[in-house]
Structure 1
């Protein structure tokens, strides 16, 4: 494994199979860059230019972990400028910086030898100070300097503090020297958002380009924007604050440090995240949401308005009023009426991007806004509602540059859909609340109306699913132990028994050929087989299964180094293929195999271009087909709760609708290749960087529905991906994968998802709870026999130190992918009426964990006459608490998804009659 990593990272022996993809990445990279400032210096002519900044040679191309992509070569900023006709006057300083990077590579190789290189983690080289001699050389023959700020992407769990968003002393010194020596300075930001207020105002800084994390062709993409080969059309997808403390989320940050009093984070800002906060509380940003400049200018006018209970339709005419060709992003915001439900000042309700318009040319764009996009979540009635009043639509180029253009008048409060009351906070939370906004004089604008009497609310209700069906073959002797068990999991359900005809000779092939139903086939499988299907291949144990075929099947296993696979041990006996999963959002992540490294999700979203997302998806799907990958684990749809957090590059936007719609474009592109599909990630509130996978997020139901779930629901409705990946953290006290209200009532019942739900890698949840909740596939794998223990009464297994046996195995990044404690049917609970005991001999040391539990009142320690210690634990005897039907339902969801996979098709093609 380590040899593969070293070969792929350093020797570059692997070559991209589709080198033409570089042109696609180059175009996407340029389209995702945002021009933040331009005092007439850009576009610039090729020629002599000074180049400084760590990002000039140590350019960041992609992220870490699941965002890291192997590729055969990358183009840094220096190379990109030289490739495109520039001459650099800073050879001496660049040589020193390159030498420092090479020395640091030795450290990087040591990291690789420890098995960490595949995560993309690098030892970022500190910037070299600029000497007087360096500056004397730099100013010869040019009055223009490009300075590339590069802040390293910090790993998950590393404590960066506020200072990681501020320029370093060396950077400030270098910028100060440059600003006093050059008439024209172009500042390029090759990182996440930083505190730039102090330098953005400098007179000699004539232009600022947000380069972000732009993919493998970074330098060439930047050169295209600088020279005007590409007119910048990128727009910010998150608000850029003047300082870190201007964000509403900074006082309940997304990182837990050593001084944290508890392993939880309160989302005290409620719905006021990003521009929703800046607008409602009148906080002036450095650059607003949706902001971005162009080398030309545009005029936008609303031409048409229509409202129905399906959608609000607006037609906007965009005209290029400048002197060069370019593209404009049309942004429509809606101010909802003030009522009983808290609302922000405005929300992004629709958007679109024009084609390339020549000077004087116009384009009419039709934007359809679904009614659900205008709804608010009312916690009191547990419903999505539209309150009575005026829905004011604002047309503009960013959230702070809009004009009223239309309104839709609703005559009464209308319930659009009632949903189940789930995911309630377990503690009282106090949220931010702005002052009521003043009434606006709308003047003459286009008006449409909606009548609540025309909307039929009947049957617009999503009930709680309170039962599970266990499928049994006729004649089976099975009694429901779950129904009679006084212990219930976090959400109790009733087990129904349904008897069906014996199907003991059928295979998954027969289901696909409609000879038997999926339920009939699954009823013929033993619990031992079922338990292996619901767990990924990692750490699996083998079980014998009868061969139900009367012919041979050739099964070819994909042996590439990827994220995970499902079991393939039943491929030739039951016709169930092992399917493959590969990260990630920035490109296929295969160990030692060079793939296309796309711009980061943040950069792709900054295109505001659905066609660009589809184009990326098609290129991505092409590589999936070549390498026989069934599912990519992308898009990552969590919002930017705070875009100055170092992992913001992983996600699309602070706006949930924008993130969901653009993510759907990627899904559509991938699915154009038969049998290739995607797994959305991570549902939900995966916004923390605590480094602890069991951190608890306390969030209101309104914020959860309107902000944190909406990207996923929007993507689901538009593109129907193959499945979703849970987050590993807790939400309001319970692991997301163990939330039946989330995985069953919301995702499956409300959204209508028929795909599979996956647990996060190395999650610490109890897997029986996950299966009960509707989390179907445990990733990247688990011990199947431990899953089955929840279906029988099992005693704890104790070690000599008095604590139960702890299983940690299958390590990745020095973290165990499989971890659990062998408590069996016993559940620790100091108010429980059951007890279990173990003895620690006199000369043995008691585990620190036991001593900690004693302090919590969960066990007692009694010294006996012979010096041994009797440890008695208090708790609940759960007995057998997982229903067979819950295991079967997970398998039904998994097989119902993978029967459409490329691996399934290939397995059937390999069948030899």
Structure 2
């Protein structure tokens, strides 16, 4: 602390001044965060990895024989030159000891500038705005929110200085990560940017445009003659400036490729007309584009993009030759290609394989990405063979009418190339009959009629001489590939106990009702969780010994938990100190030294660990990492990430984010990997593999599903076809889960086809567990405003960031509402984050409001008390009747359903089993056992 006081006088004076002025703008939590900032990165050598990954993730979009350039004197303009965006905000934000701006990176790598005067003005403007930001609330000071700095105009004097001694200018456009509704600023150049680019291109022979952003409308400047090079820098992590310098000078030959289609204009995207914005009052979005998202739409409807999916240039050239092709039901499709560097410098190439499926009953995209691979660094004239294995499931389509995954009869044409618009037809798979690959239960379907896009008929093409093989539908047996819904659950009861189901006889129909079955197990009331790990007892036997009060606390996050006195089954005392860092969440640790159940620590951070006030490595954004098209790069990032998780005692990280990008010109597209689900899933799986190299470390993939609607309403309802849901929005999760095996899945706060995602049993049980074989836990998202017992019944096991366990227990008994004096029930809102309560519920007990319900409850309001606005609103909605008595008192009669005891013990036990099954392999579990010395 003393060293901090000596070296950070300005911060201390700033805090002291605010306290003495009577305006304590920082609570102790914030203050602790400031003091923690005095530390250093534990693994500074990982900056070299960030620098490499950042350079590999950049996409060269245009190069008219300009790049690479030599070090020396250049002009440097653009707000992003000094105000470089290195990472995202909120849960994407990573505290670092140093983010390298573009200006700093170029200076460190041998460049000098003719624009020092303009850069100084830009830096001064930035510092002034940052001072204003420091005086604002915690969500802006500690969550990565950036000062919005307008670009300083380029004066005549600035330009006169800039052109002295150089004919090359770099102009940096940056877009700050934000959740605000900023309209067209997300995807259009500002008037100032337009004018500056025109001014610069008229003054310099060589202009390099650097995009420190996601995709924007670029057609007007991409055609400019003197704009000879364009680089999509994206959001490349803490070494941003150094990574860019490596690409500009040719130390790194750019090998990044686009993971979303770059349209000529925003309105070219199929999704732009049915997206809403933050300030819209609409609570519904219809995904009318169906399966035609991204390149699937551009190809099928023949819309020319500015840059196609998979596009990216290099400083060298490559030739791709197909060498081998085979297919079988068990082994899938195997393709081998030879890649040769035919250019003059070393480089890497991305090979992409697309498949055009036959059209019969179902309409199809023109092509879908089914496989990809990336070479190592090839010297001029050097070759490498890449083998790609494509599972048959990748070639299947979803038949909504019959709830089947099928392959339709016909020719499956395989195209190989380096982007979706530059491929060669190389192989053909012929299927002789329509074949059902898997039968599933219809669980996700829209409740309203949706008019979907229909593509024009596809033109038949001649294949010529290519590799060819065939499959026979009779050789595939799908009889055992049937996924049926789970219609029952099991309550575990110790032998000798008397337990009678109270939910089977309850007339109330809980959504997705299931039958309760009772299974008697060996009593083991003196055992601990350690005994499960040592295989002395089964998980089911241990869980059956836990009281409902204990179970309810295990399924609730630690935040605002209530303590419970419970017996110490160890028979001795030992100490266990939990992780004290400020993290996203923890599970309860109050049973660690009594039952042997540790609390696990969960941290945010798709781009690096988000630990308040603790310096960690800030990696390239998910968008950038996906642009490497390199699963090995994801493994390396995950391994470095896991190293820091181990050091700081983090069990799980909330990453990767696997939702697809519906519209890459929206400002937070950088949080996601791609518009293609297979690419997203594979890259996410690589990250998981890296993290899991460290024992006890794992991930929670997110957000299942459809967190890509661009309006950020927690209560928005997404109407989507079951085909699009399966082929587009779920596929990335299934691919990643099957390959990477995460510890958990984070659900979403929105509804899908009229039902909250975390309350859908068909999604959280039938699809995730029965179909995919997922063995971990499902976790609710922060602030999900749902009936938690419904969530648990549906298969959502862990409530985050916390909850009142007594509210869960209430649903297992008959409970009356708790009314306030104003005639409405008491409402609990707590754990605020960015002005939104993360924990919220109304104390209706077993009673559920329903204007058509046959049951009633009555509240009395004294004559001198005003009736609650909520009650008045309920009256307008037909949910209650308000009558004034002769003495002035008011009687409020609420209509609804008395649900009684509707949530079963077995469902609570099932959630705990899922949670503990993951915790037993966690680092926290190992640490606890070491402390107990057992």
Q: Which TM-score band (shorter chain)? A: over 0.9
Moved more, 119-128 or 755-764: 119-128
Q: Is the Cα contact below 8 Å between 1:533 and 1:567 reproduced in 2?
A: yes
Indicate whether 1:153 and 2:174 are aligned.
no
Indicate whether 1:366 and 2:387 are aligned.
yes
Match for residue 299 of structure 1 among 319, 323, 344? 319
Q: Is the Cα contact below 8 Å between 1:468 and 1:494 reproduced in 2?
A: yes
3-state SS in 2 of match to 1:188: strand
Match for residue 847 of structure 1 among 868, 872, 877? 868
Deviations 1:782-828 (A, max 9, x none): 00001110001111111222221110012222222211111111111
Question: 2 CA distance for matches of 1:207 and 1:827?
Answer: 62
Cα gap change, 1:252 to 1:600, in 2 (>3 Å): same
Q: Is the Cα contact below 8 Å between 2:77 and 2:172 reproduced in 1?
A: yes
Q: CA deviation at 1:12?
A: 4.3
Deviations 1:49-75 (A, max 9, x none): 000000000000001111111111110
Question: 2 CA distance for matches of 1:839 and 1:569?
Answer: 40
Counterpart of 1:880 in structure 2 is 901
Counterpart of 2:6 in structure 1 is none
Counterpart of 1:107 in structure 2 is 132
Match for residue 231 of structure 2 among 209, 219, 229? 209
Cα gap change, 1:328 to 1:3, in 2 (>3 Å): farther
Indicate whether 1:35 and 2:60 are aligned.
yes
Question: 2 CA distance for matches of 1:353 and 1:114?
Answer: 43
Question: 2 CA distance for matches of 1:850 and 1:193?
Answer: 47
Match for residue 66 of structure 1 among 63, 71, 91? 91
Question: 2 CA distance for matches of 1:850 and 1:903?
Answer: 47
Moved more, 877-886 or 170-179: 170-179
Moved more, 793-802 or 405-414: 793-802
Counterpart of 1:176 in structure 2 is 198
Q: Is the Cα contact below 8 Å between 2:259 and 2:676 reproduced in 1?
A: yes
Counterpart of 2:847 in structure 1 is 826
Question: 1 CA distance for matches of 2:393 and 2:492?
Answer: 37
Matches within 5 A, 1:349-748: 349-748=370-769
3-state SS in 2 of match to 1:119: coil
Question: 2 CA distance for matches of 1:806 and 1:784?
Answer: 16
Q: CA deviation at 1:115?
A: 4.3
3-state SS in 2 of match to 1:71: coil
Indicate whether 1:199 and 2:221 are aligned.
yes
Deviations 1:403-453 (A, max 9, x none): 100110000011111111102211111111111101111111110100001
Question: 2 CA distance for matches of 1:391 and 1:704?
Answer: 23
Task: Indicate the RMSD between aligned Cα atoms, in angstroms.
Answer: 1.2
Matches within 5 A, 1:848-867: 848-867=869-888
Question: 2 CA distance for matches of 1:801 and 1:127?
Answer: 53
Deviations 1:501-560 (A, max 9, x none): 211001000000001000000000000000000001001000111100023332121000
Matches within 5 A, 1:122-133: 122-133=146-157
Question: 2 CA distance for matches of 1:500 and 1:247?
Answer: 57
Match for residue 44 of structure 1 among 52, 64, 69? 69
Question: 2 CA distance for matches of 1:469 and 1:448?
Answer: 48
Question: 2 CA distance for matches of 1:115 and 1:9?
Answer: 14
Question: 2 CA distance for matches of 1:534 and 1:474?
Answer: 25
Q: Is the Cα contact below 8 Å between 2:823 and 2:868 reproduced in 1?
A: yes
Q: What stretches of structure 1 of length at least 5 have no aligned partner?
A: none
Counterpart of 1:78 in structure 2 is 103
Counterpart of 1:317 in structure 2 is 338
3-state SS in 2 of match to 1:187: strand
3-state SS in 1 of match to 2:461: coil
Q: CA deviation at 1:120?
A: 1.1
Q: CA deviation at 1:839?
A: 1.8
Match for residue 251 of structure 2 among 219, 229, 252? 229
3-state SS in 1 of match to 2:202: helix
Counterpart of 2:825 in structure 1 is 804
Match for residue 272 of structure 2 among 233, 250, 273? 250
Under a length normalisation based on structure 1, what TM-score does the superposition of the two structures give?
0.98
3-state SS in 2 of match to 1:682: strand
Question: 2 CA distance for matches of 1:800 and 1:37?
Answer: 68
Moved more, 77-86 or 481-490: 481-490
Q: CA deviation at 1:106?
A: 1.2
Question: 1 CA distance for matches of 2:837 and 2:231?
Answer: 41
3-state SS in 2 of match to 1:553: coil
Question: 2 CA distance for matches of 1:280 and 1:490?
Answer: 39
Moved more, 50-59 or 482-491: 482-491
Question: 2 CA distance for matches of 1:429 and 1:850?
Answer: 36
Question: 1 CA distance for matches of 2:456 and 2:82?
Answer: 49
Question: 1 CA distance for matches of 2:787 and 2:135?
Answer: 36
Q: Is the Cα contact below 8 Å between 1:166 and 1:195 reproduced in 2?
A: yes
Question: 2 CA distance for matches of 1:118 and 1:470?
Answer: 45
Question: 2 CA distance for matches of 1:632 and 1:712?
Answer: 16
3-state SS in 2 of match to 1:704: helix
Cα gap change, 1:342 to 1:848, in 2 (>3 Å): farther
Indicate whether 1:905 and 2:926 are aligned.
yes
3-state SS in 1 of match to 2:125: helix
Moved more, 184-193 or 797-806: 797-806
Cα gap change, 1:672 to 1:718, in 2 (>3 Å): same
Question: 2 CA distance for matches of 1:21 and 1:618?
Answer: 11
3-state SS in 1 of match to 2:134: helix
Deviations 1:140-162 (A, max 9, x none): 0000000000122222xx21223
Question: 2 CA distance for matches of 1:560 and 1:403?
Answer: 53
Counterpart of 1:13 in structure 2 is 38
